[in-house]
Structure formats: structure tokens, C-alpha cells
């Protein structure tokens, strides 16, 4: 039985009333266990779904990365071969050899079965590289790039002589 002084303090609102149910609130690890008791085994069930999805996303990222590196290497090799082909004394054979060498150095592991096509006409030079990215899941993603530019030609400067007083 509380004393009159305790009752007086309690009525003033300074002390919370005692727990009337007779149960004590859990403290420390007991509180954590009581809160988590309904979720036992849920982490295992979540991981059964989460890990395969995480691995799939990682593998897809690897596949996209291999395709991107192959595409980048093919573009660089095509640009390099185009510059070799389009110069004044350049040939299609020199451009093809240059593209093959650059592909082996830069993207040898990232492009399968590369084919290099180089054409040179009097006005333009064109280099096309085709291949496939290495397949992780059996799906072969194509890699293709094509670049063209005008060829260099020697054009002698002609002097236009206009009659005196005539506009040029």
C-alpha cells in the first residue's frame, strides 16, 4: 500500500503509475528476441530469392561490359584503319592489316570471329568491322561498326588569270 506522500506525488503527475498488469517489459536482448520472434527464418527465405537475382544482375552486367569493350575496340580499330586507308598512298590491304593488328591488341578477348572489310575508291574510304561479343549465356550479341571518310588526293593548284578589269 503506497504511503500518502507517494499518492500525493502520483496525483501531481510527477511519477508514472506502477505497472498494474504485473508483467515486466523485456529489456536488452530479451527485447530484441521478443520483437524478432515472429520473423524466424525470414532471412533464409529472402536470401533464397535475393542471391540468384543478384548473381543474374551481376552476370548481365558482365555480359554488357564485354559487349561494350568489344564495341569500343572495334570502333578504335576501324578509325585507325580508316586513317591508314584514306591517306594519299594508302591501300585497302594496308587498312585491313592495320585493323586486324589493332583488334588483336585492344579487343582480342572481347570480340569473337571478327571480319574486317575495307574499301577505297577515288573519293571515299570505308572500313567495316563485324563480330560477336563472347557469350556468357549462349546468346551471341553482335558487334558492328562502320566508318568512312573522304580520301586524300593531290590537287594541283590552278592559277586563274582573268582579263584586266574583269571580276574573278
Tens-of-pLDDT digits for all 168 residues of the chain?
Answer: 556 666 666 666 665 556 556 566 667 777 777 666 666 667 777 888 889 999 999 999 999 999 999 999 999 999 999 999 999 989 999 999 999 999 999 888 999 999 999 999 989 999 999 999 999 888 889 999 999 999 998 877 777 666 676 665
Would residue 30 count as lying in a domain? no
Map residue 45 onto helix, strand or coil: helix
Would residue 89 count as lying in a domain? yes
Predicted TM-score of the model (pTM): 0.65
Would residue 72 count as lying in a domain? yes
DSSP secondary structure letter of residue 110:
T
Among 167, 112, 107, 118, which Cα is nearest to 138's? 112
Q: How far apart are CA 125 and CA 55, in angstroms?
A: 45
Tell me what pLDDT residue 6 has.
Answer: 63
Number of domains in the chain: 1
Among 147, 50, 41, 46, which Cα is nearest to 98's? 147
Tell me what pLDDT residue 24 has.
Answer: 65
Tell me what pLDDT residue 28 has.
Answer: 77
Give the torsion sign (CA, 99, 143, 123, 121): positive
Would residue 114 count as lying in a domain? yes
Would residue 25 count as lying in a domain? no
Q: Give the position of cell 560477336.
A: 132
Tell me what pLDDT residue 48 has.
Answer: 85
Q: Strand order of the sheet with strand 142-150?
A: 112-120, 124-132, 142-150
Would residue 40 count as lying in a domain? no
Question: What is the residue range of 108's domain?
Answer: 48-150
Would residue 16 count as lying in a domain? no
Would residue 37 count as lying in a domain? no
User: Alpha helix (H) ranges present in 87-165?
Assistant: 92-107
CATH number, position 137: 3.10.450
Amino acid at each position: 500500500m503506497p504511503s500518502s506522500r507517494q499518492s500525493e506525488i502520483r496525483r501531481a503527475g510527477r511519477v508514472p503509475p506502477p505497472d498494474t498488469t504485473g508483467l515486466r517489459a523485456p529489456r536488452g536482448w530479451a527485447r530484441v528476441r521478443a520483437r524478432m520472434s515472429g520473423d524466424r527464418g525470414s532471412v533464409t527465405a529472402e536470401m533464397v530469392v535475393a542471391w540468384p537475382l543478384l548473381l543474374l544482375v551481376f552476370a548481365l552486367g558482365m555480359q554488357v561490359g564485354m559487349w561494350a569493350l568489344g564495341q569500343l575496340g572495334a570502333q578504335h580499330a576501324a578509325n585507325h584503319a580508316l586513317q591508314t586507308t584514306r591517306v594519299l598512298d594508302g591501300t585497302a590491304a594496308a587498312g585491313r592489316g592495320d585493323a586486324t593488328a589493332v583488334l588483336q591488341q585492344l579487343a582480342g578477348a572481347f570480340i569473337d570471329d571478327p571480319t574486317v572489310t575495307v574499301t577505297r575508291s577515288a573519293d571515299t574510304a570505308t572500313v567495316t568491322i563485324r563480330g560477336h561479343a563472347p557469350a556468357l549465356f549462349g546468346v551471341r550479341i553482335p558487334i558492328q561498326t562502320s566508318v568512312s571518310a573522304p580520301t586524300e588526293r593531290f590537287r594541283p593548284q590552278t592559277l586563274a588569270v582573268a582579263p584586266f578589269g574583269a571580276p574573278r
